[in-house]
């Protein structure tokens, strides 16, 4: 049974009733972020129950020394970890000298959490009875500002119930924090200075080894029944802490409200020596604005994001809540302002997996950012890999490749590989192909060819060199083979001729050769520069072509399908439907050898290829492959259901598409994988977006034109979304009767619907029937 305590609501994530067992799960689900920092939904006040504390700063990581059982040559020395940053949210509350702690309260009534996605804030409210029988009503609202992204704001409101009381607020900063995820229990932070000025507190601390300097800061304002109260507390500073203490006496029914502003200035954006000054400037700005004005700006900023990226679903609240939760989290994690950042698999909601960048970015996230943001955001994501090209070449060198062959890392923070499992790190090389595909995808969607001569071609050349060197010639097969790989389906390791990998390799080489020709023809200066730098010769290109032209693909004549890898048909082909339910999820029930020799597929593998290259295959081929592989797929990767939803929709199997859609969109809300406590699956959320726009909406780019084949699940009355195609904004609405296409702005665009080309002028709406 999946988790089922989140209350369905079209714009909010809501929990009602206090349950200590759900605290860690809710800390993940109610996380907030603004692209520059993030915060799990930890309580401001002391909490002595089970909790997973997490405050994160984008781009701040620690290289944790690699831990392995058995070292292999080529393993990286460290694993780059997103780390828990100094705590800025803390506000201890005392009532008549007794600490308020939800874990020790005699009673907690009307407990409610709400994450308002429309406006970008998170609120907790409840009535608590303390061990000393004092009763208080608490309302706490928190948000991380999109406008001033170095700051967050908390409004902590306490109302005295059933009697007078003395109340104390103790806002504090704390850098004596630990990490949930650490290999050797290293200390990750070094605190250099704890200071205060007036009612402002500062902690300067830097990460060990990486030396990211940060200043964590805060300032508070106090209100009595809504009226500002002058405060003047002396700061109490300790080795890792600065704390103020504000006392106020309340009559029964009175309220005391603390506004706390806090956050981080970091050396990524400021001189390390100037962080305290920068923090003071931020505090000046936000205290001048005040909490309410900052909140108003927050609502406007989120309004702007939703204006472009919202997807509406009518007639299905859970589906609506799911897609908005996914879109909201993606925007909390990455806004595309900084090309040094990327999209970590857990965003700012947990620490698992470390690193910030996986192939998820290229294979799953780029379409979302391309279609819902300015196209510079996607370009920025591509540029991130261009900036890491040198390191990818170094990485390949460590594994025995030469001559500028590039292997992008499986997991990275700064371009260096930081993953250490040979079957993944060394063998899951298809990631290289996803990076090339993203370049192609960006080009066809944005039409921005300039990226190729400026940056993309160099990346493509490095990748093609890798493929040519990685393929070996099999005399027996008289073909090139790629031995010893792990495909997207990580439930197979060290297999030969993974079809997906071989197909990508061939495609990469051909695409690179095509682009070299185009750049030569259209951008001869760039061509000269790139050829000069890479020393690429015709002979070398011929050697690439030989590999691409003679690549081997495992195929079954009998079944008329491509095989996931050599030998796949030797397995005991028992479908998931015929697998004892008690054996699932197999990754929690079976030993690894058993998983490997089984036919079970963790996530789309051959079908991932059919997704990326759908125009290379007929509908009949897709159907045959889907019918063969899907029954063996256990979808134990968060990245699996979305691809299957898209393909089921394409095959007009709407019930199946809908089931997969719910699974991808509510993966975390309903905790399908029993691990939401560890954080959310951020990157797969972009797959959810694809499953509506590309799946149900049937959006494709064909011959430089946008094309749609809209379908609608029977559970829905209508759904709508917008896409930014080549800087033109198109709004699509699909109902049971058909689809309508509405061009915003001043331009005109040509789209295809169900194979028919339609020209749409600004302001026009054209309807097309849904199959």
Binding residues for a second copy, rule: CB under 8 A, are 66-70, 72-74, 398-400, 420-422, 426-427, 472-477, 481, 483-484, 493-496, 566-567, 569-573, 587-594, 596-597
- What is the Cα–Cα distance from 547 to 463, expressed in whole angstroms? 14
The pairing of strands 748-753 and 705-708 is parallel
* Minimal distance, residue 209 CB to a second copy, in Å: 19
CA separation, residue 702 to residues 378, 616, 754 (Å)? 20, 12, 12
* Minimal distance, residue 363 CB to a second copy, in Å: 21
- In terms of CB distance, is 73 or 539 closer to a second copy? 73
- CB neighbours of residue 627 within 10 Å: 12
The answer to whether 578 touches 603, Cβ cutoff 8 Å, is no
Provide the β-strand partners of residue 136.
128, 160
Take residue 720 and report the two structure tokens written for it.
Answer: 């709508």
* Minimal distance, residue 147 CB to a second copy, in Å: 41
Provide the β-strand partners of residue 729.
724
- In terms of CB distance, is 236 or 352 closer to a second copy? 352
* Minimal distance, residue 56 CB to a second copy, in Å: 22
Rg (CA), the chain: 27
* Minimal distance, residue 493 CB to a second copy, in Å: 6
**Closest Cα to residue 205, out of 282, 136, 272, 287?**
272
- What is the Cα–Cα distance from 553 to 557, expressed in whole angstroms? 12
- In terms of CB distance, is 74 or 315 closer to a second copy? 74
- In terms of CB distance, is 399 or 531 closer to a second copy? 399
Grouping H, G, I as helix, E, B as strand and the rest as coil, residue 68 is: coil
CA separation, residue 292 to residues 64, 96, 485 (Å)? 41, 29, 55
- CB neighbours of residue 761 within 10 Å: 11
- In terms of CB distance, is 401 or 716 closer to a second copy? 401
Q: Residues 382-401, buried b or exposed e (16+ Cβ, 10 A)? A: bbbbbebbebbbebbeebeb
Residue 354 exposure: Cα atoms within 13 Å on the Cβ side: 23
Secondary structure element (H or E) that encloses residue 326, with its range: helix 317-333
- In terms of CB distance, is 69 or 755 closer to a second copy? 69
- In terms of CB distance, is 480 or 689 closer to a second copy? 480
* Torsion sign (Cα): 479, 483, 486, 492: positive
* Minimal distance, residue 348 CB to a second copy, in Å: 23
- In terms of CB distance, is 473 or 613 closer to a second copy? 473
- In terms of CB distance, is 323 or 576 closer to a second copy? 576
* Minimal distance, residue 698 CB to a second copy, in Å: 37
Torsion-angle region of 198 (φ positive above 0: left; ψ -120 to 50: alpha; else: beta): left
* Minimal distance, residue 592 CB to a second copy, in Å: 4
Helical ranges in 53-121 per DSSP H: none
- What is the Cα–Cα distance from 144 to 150, expressed in whole angstroms? 8
Question: Roughly what angle, to the nearest 10 degrees, separates helices 375-387 and 431-446?
Answer: 150
First to last CA, the chain: 34
Take residue 511 and report the two structure tokens written for it.
Answer: 């695409």
- In terms of CB distance, is 108 or 569 closer to a second copy? 569
The answer to whether 357 touches 344, Cβ cutoff 8 Å, is yes
**Closest Cα to residue 139, out of 153, 126, 129, 120?**
126
The answer to whether 115 touches 30, Cβ cutoff 8 Å, is yes
The answer to whether 139 touches 123, Cβ cutoff 8 Å, is yes
| 620 burial via Cβ count (<10 Å: 0-12, 13-18, 19+) | exposed
| 112 burial via Cβ count (<10 Å: 0-12, 13-18, 19+) | middle
Catalytic residue among 27, 428, 490, 694: 490
* Minimal distance, residue 573 CB to a second copy, in Å: 7
* Minimal distance, residue 481 CB to a second copy, in Å: 5
314 is catalytic: no
- What is the Cα–Cα distance from 394 to 171, expressed in whole angstroms? 47
- In terms of CB distance, is 8 or 585 closer to a second copy? 585
Question: Roughly what angle, to the nearest 10 degrees, separates helices 654-665 and 682-690?
Answer: 150
* Minimal distance, residue 679 CB to a second copy, in Å: 17
Catalytic residue ranges = 490
């Amino acid at each position: 049974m999946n988790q089922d305590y989140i209350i369905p609501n079209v714009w909010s994530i809501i929990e009602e009733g206090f349950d200590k067992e759900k605290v860690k799960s809710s800390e993940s689900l109610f996380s907030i972020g603004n692209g520059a920092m993030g915060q799990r939904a930890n309580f401001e006040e002391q909490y002595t129950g089970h909790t997973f504390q997490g405050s994160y700063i984008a781009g701040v990581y620690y290289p944790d020394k690699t831990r392995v059982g058995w070292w292999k040559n080529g393993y990286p020395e460290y694993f780059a970890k997103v780390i828990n940053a100094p705590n800025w949210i803390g506000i201890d509350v005392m009532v008549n000298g007794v600490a308020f702690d939800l874990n020790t309260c005699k009673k907690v009534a009307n407990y409610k959490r709400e994450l308002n996605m429309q406006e970008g804030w998170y609120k907790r409210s409840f009535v608590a009875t303390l061990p000393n029988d004092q009763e208080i009503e608490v309302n706490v609202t928190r948000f991380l500002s999109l406008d001033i992204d170095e700051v967050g704001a908390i409004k902590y409101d306490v109302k005295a119930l059933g009697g007078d009381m003395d109340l104390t607020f103790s806002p504090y900063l704390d850098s004596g924090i630990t990490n949930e995820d650490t290999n050797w229990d290293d200390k990750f932070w070094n605190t250099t200075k704890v200071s205060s000025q007036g009612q402002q507190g500062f902690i300067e601390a830097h990460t060990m080894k990486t030396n990211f300097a940060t200043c964590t800061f805060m300032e508070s304002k106090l209100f009595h029944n809504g009226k500002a109260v002058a405060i003047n507390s002396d700061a109490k500073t300790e080795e890792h802490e600065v704390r103020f203490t504000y006392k106020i006496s309340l009559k029964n029914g009175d309220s005391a409200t603390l506004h706390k502003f806090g956050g981080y200035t970091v050396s990524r954006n400021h001189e390390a020596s100037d962080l305290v000054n920068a923090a003071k400037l931020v505090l000046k700005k936000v205290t001048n604005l005040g909490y309410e004005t900052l909140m108003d700006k927050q609502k406007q900023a989120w309004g702007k994001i939703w204006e472009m990226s919202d997807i509406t679903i009518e007639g299905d609240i859970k589906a609506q809540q799911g897609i908005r939760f996914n879109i909201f989290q993606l925007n909390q994690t990455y806004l595309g302002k900084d090309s040094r950042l990327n999209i970590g698999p857990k965003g700012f909601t947990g620490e698992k997996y470390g690193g910030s960048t996986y192939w998820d970015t290229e294979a799953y996230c780029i379409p979302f950012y391309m279609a819902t943001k300015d196209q510079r955001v996607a370009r920025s994501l591509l540029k991130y890999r261009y900036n890491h090209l040198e390191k990818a070449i170094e990485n390949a060198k460590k594994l025995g490749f030469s001559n500028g062959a590039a292997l992008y890392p499986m997991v990275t923070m700064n371009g260096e590989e930081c993953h250490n499992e040979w079957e993944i790190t060394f063998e899951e090389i298809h990631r290289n192909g996803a990076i090339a595909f993203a370049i192609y995808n960006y080009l066809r969607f944005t039409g921005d060819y300039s990226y190729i001569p400026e940056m993309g071609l160099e990346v493509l050349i490095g990748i093609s060199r890798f493929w040519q060197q990685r393929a070996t010639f099999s005399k027996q097969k008289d073909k090139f083979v790629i031995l010893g790989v792990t495909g997207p389906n990580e439930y197979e390791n060290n297999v030969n001729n993974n079809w997906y990998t071989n197909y990508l390799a061939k495609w990469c080489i051909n695409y690179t050769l095509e682009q070299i020709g185009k750049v030569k023809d259209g951008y001869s200066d760039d061509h000269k520069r790139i050829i000069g730098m890479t020393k690429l010769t015709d002979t070398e290109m011929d050697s690439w072509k030989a590999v691409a032209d003679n690549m081997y693909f495992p195929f079954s004549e009998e079944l008329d399908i491509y095989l996931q890898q050599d030998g796949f048909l030797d397995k005991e082909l028992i479908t998931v439907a015929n697998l004892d339910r008690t054996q699932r999820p197999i990754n929690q029930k079976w030993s690894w050898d058993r998983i490997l020799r089984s036919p079970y597929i963790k996530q789309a593998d051959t079908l991932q290829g059919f997704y990326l290259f759908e125009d290379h295959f007929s509908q009949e081929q897709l159907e045959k492959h889907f019918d063969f592989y899907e029954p063996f797929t256990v979808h134990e990767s968060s990245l699996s259901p979305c691809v299957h939803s898209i393909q089921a929709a394409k095959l007009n199997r709407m019930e199946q598409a809908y089931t997969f859609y719910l699974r991808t969109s509510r993966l975390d809300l309903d905790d399908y994988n029993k691990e939401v406590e560890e954080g959310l699956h951020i990157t797969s959320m972009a797959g959810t977006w694809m499953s509506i726009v590309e799946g149900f909406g049937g959006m494709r780019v064909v011959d430089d034109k946008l094309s749609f084949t809209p379908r609608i699940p029977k559970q829905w009355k209508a759904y709508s979304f917008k896409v930014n195609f080549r800087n033109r904004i198109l709004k699509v609405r699909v109902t049971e009767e058909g689809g309508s296409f509405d061009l915003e702005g001043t331009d005109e665009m040509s789209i295809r619907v169900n194979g028919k080309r339609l020209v749409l002028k600004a302001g026009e709406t054209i309807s097309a029937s849904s199959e």
